[in-house]
Structure 1
Amino acid sequence: MNGPVVVGVDGSPSALAAVGAAAQEASLRGVELRVVHAFLWPAMHAPPGSSPLGPFTGALHEMVERIVADAVEGARSQAAGLHVTHAVIAGEASTVLQAQSRRAQLVVVGHRGSGGFAELLVGSTAVHLSAHAHCPVMVARGRPNPAGPVLVAVDGSPRGQPAIAFAFSEAALRGTDLIALHAWSTWTDHGEHALGRPAEVVDLVGDVDRLQQEEERELAEALSGQREQYPGVTLRPRLVRGRTRPALIEASVDAQLMVVGARGHGGFTGLLLGSVSQAALHHAHCPVTVVRSGP
């Protein structure tokens, strides 16, 4: 796909961090970076077609121009020779960026915008796009280790394959290792059976060695196709006995990027984001890319 990398900006420090991450991604891919600012009038009670603030001029116009200009300058300073375009589009940020994602290969946003509630760990735009965008969504957060690996969560489900493919591609682009983390557990570990597995698979005593071998085989099978496609990527499979969410969060401390699927095994079918992707967006120590398995 030759579409651009799109980054949403609103003048917040989080958005400026997103610009840096997006510039790197566009440069690695050799594609255009499109800086997008979604403009929404502060007052919403005007008749259709008019604005109580008058024409889009004056101080408001200057503020928006400054937000976009700072983002464009920041992007070009991150990657020399990068082709950067920009647009100011009327509408709510999540709606505008979701529309932009139709022709993009990646959308990048900050984990928090200039609005919202201070106690929220992740802004509504980041969560909405992760669940609804038409391409992968990167949420810039944490303190990535520039020399660290790409980290991908593997659960063995078919819907997780696009995330694995994206992670291999990212590791190849960045010239770094790929850690493929698969967590497993038994009833005796947590008082409940492993997610996505029928209760009869593991009894209260359990053949833990046999189960671990099955999990190792599942991890190898999930990686086999992409492993052949990216022979230059150093793959480091990691099988962890424990819960997926804390294992991923801990592993993200040394990573430069985490990749997760939108939904995997278990959970409620009506949810567009699973508990693992939600936890990653809220608590990861590095940027997180959420890759949906389909429309």
Structure 2
Amino acid sequence: MRDTLGQRVVVAVDGSAASWATASLAAEEARLRHRPLQLISAASEMSGGLGPYLTAVVGRLSARWPEVAITTRVLDGDITERLIDESRWATLVVVGRDAANGRHYQVAAHTFCPAMVVPAAVGQTAGGPVLLGVDMSPYDEQAIGFAFEQAALRGVPLVAVHVWSGIPGTALSDINPFAYNLCQARTTADRLLAETLAGWTEKYPNVPVQRMALYDVNPARTLLQAAADAGLVVVGANRFGTTSPQLLGPVARVLLDHAPCAVCVVRQTSR
């Protein structure tokens, strides 16, 4: 979907207990993509032995993923801003879920490449499908392509979920809102979803695809339930062309905070 020649996977590590899970997922992504891995830390976090910690992490990662070239960088300044800057030359940025200061919101909203947010305790989801949230907006295209790419790299199925919660006449243009029929709405939603995915299923014919068109007044709840067995969740970031962390969208924010697996947020402006 894009030229990733020479690009690397970048991961933020800070010496916390959750950093190992974040770095491990980043290393696996680098292996799948045949890309180098770069561990980035803030100079302000060097106190308390982060230097030896980085050395130890590199050693453990190299032992488990010997085929991945690994480098480290310690940067001055705000680590969130530096990650966003580094994303200009990355194929993927990986960060841990940061409930304390919301760093993952900022990274997901502003990176120039897809951003992967990793929960502190990642469930046993290896081999699980890639779950794609589709809202059928103009900002879906790159997220859809990224999700298919991820499923192909992992050798797993893709589950594409579209949840609508509004008046059928506004969400599904060919349904009369005054003659609402849930079965008809679901059939129309599934057809529109199939049309949205059509070009990508042709590009990735070996990726099994399951479509789910569902009605729920709480789309985030439905997607969280669907994510229970997923190995990865992929959603788009943009909401009406904005990139403010407050406007990632309520569904994306809920998934970033509560999904049991890693969540990839893809901006339409990502390369």
How high is the TM-score relative to the length of structure 1? 0.81
**Alignment correspondent of 1:105:** 91
Cα distance in 1 between the residues matched to 2:170 and 2:143: 18
Unmatched segments (≥5 aa) in structure 2: none
- Whether the aligned pair in 1 keeps the contact of 2:92 and 2:114 (CA below 8 Å) is yes
Q: What's 2:116 paired with? A: 138
Higher Cα Rg: structure 1 or 2?
Answer: 1
In the other structure, the counterpart of 1:147 is: 127
Q: CA 1:163–1:199 in structure 2 vs 1: closer, same or farther (change >3 Å)?
A: closer
Asked if residue 284 in structure 1 is aligned to residue 262 in structure 2, the reply is: no
Instruction: Report if the CA contact (8 A) 1:98-1:129 is conserved.
Output: yes
With normalisation by structure 2, the TM-score equals 0.88
**For 2:198, what is the secondary structure of its paired residue?**
helix
1:7 aligns with 2:15: no
- 2:33 is aligned, of 25, 29, 33, to 29
- The offset of 1:218, in angstroms, is 1.2
In the TM superposition, residue 64 of structure 1 has moved relative to its aligned partner by 2.8
Match of residue 74 from structure 1: 60
1:75 and 1:83 mapped to 2: Cα distance? 10
Residues in 2 aligned to 1:156 and 1:231: alpha-carbon distance in whole angstroms:
21
Q: How does 1:90-101 map to 2 (within 5 A)?
A: 90-101=76-87
Q: Distance in 1 between matches of 2:29 and 2:243?
A: 32
Q: How does 1:57-72 map to 2 (within 5 A)?
A: 60=47, 63-72=49-58
Rounded to whole Å, the distance in 2 between the matches of 1:194 and 1:288 is: 29
Counterparts of 1:167-186 in structure 2 under 5 Å?
167-186=147-166
Deviation at 1:123, TM superposition (A): 4.3
Aligned counterpart, 1:127: 105
The residue that corresponds to 2:185 in the other structure is: 211
Q: Residue 7 and residue 267 in structure 1: after superposition, are their counterparts in 2 closer, same or farther (change >3 A)?
A: closer
Q: 1:109 to 1:244 in 2, by over 3 A?
A: same
- Counterpart residue number, 2:75: 89
Deviating more after overlay: 204-213 vs 86-95 = 204-213
The amino acid across from 2:114 in the alignment is: P
Alignment of 1:227-246 (within 5 A): 227-242=201-216, 243-246=218-221
Q: Measure, in 1, the Cα distance between the counterparts of 2:176 and 2:78.
A: 48
Q: Does 1:255 align with 2:241?
A: no
Deviation at 1:200, TM superposition (A): 11
Number of residue pairs matched?
A: 262
Which of 269-278 and 74-83 deviates more? Answer: 269-278
Unaligned runs of 5+ residues in structure 1 are 42-58, 113-119, 187-192
1:123 to 1:202, Cα distance in 2 relative to 1, 3 A: farther
2-side partners of 1:161 and 1:273: how far apart? Answer: 16
**Partner Cα distance (2:132, 2:212) in 1:** 10
- Asked whether the 8 Å contact 1:144–1:255 carries over to 2, the reply is no
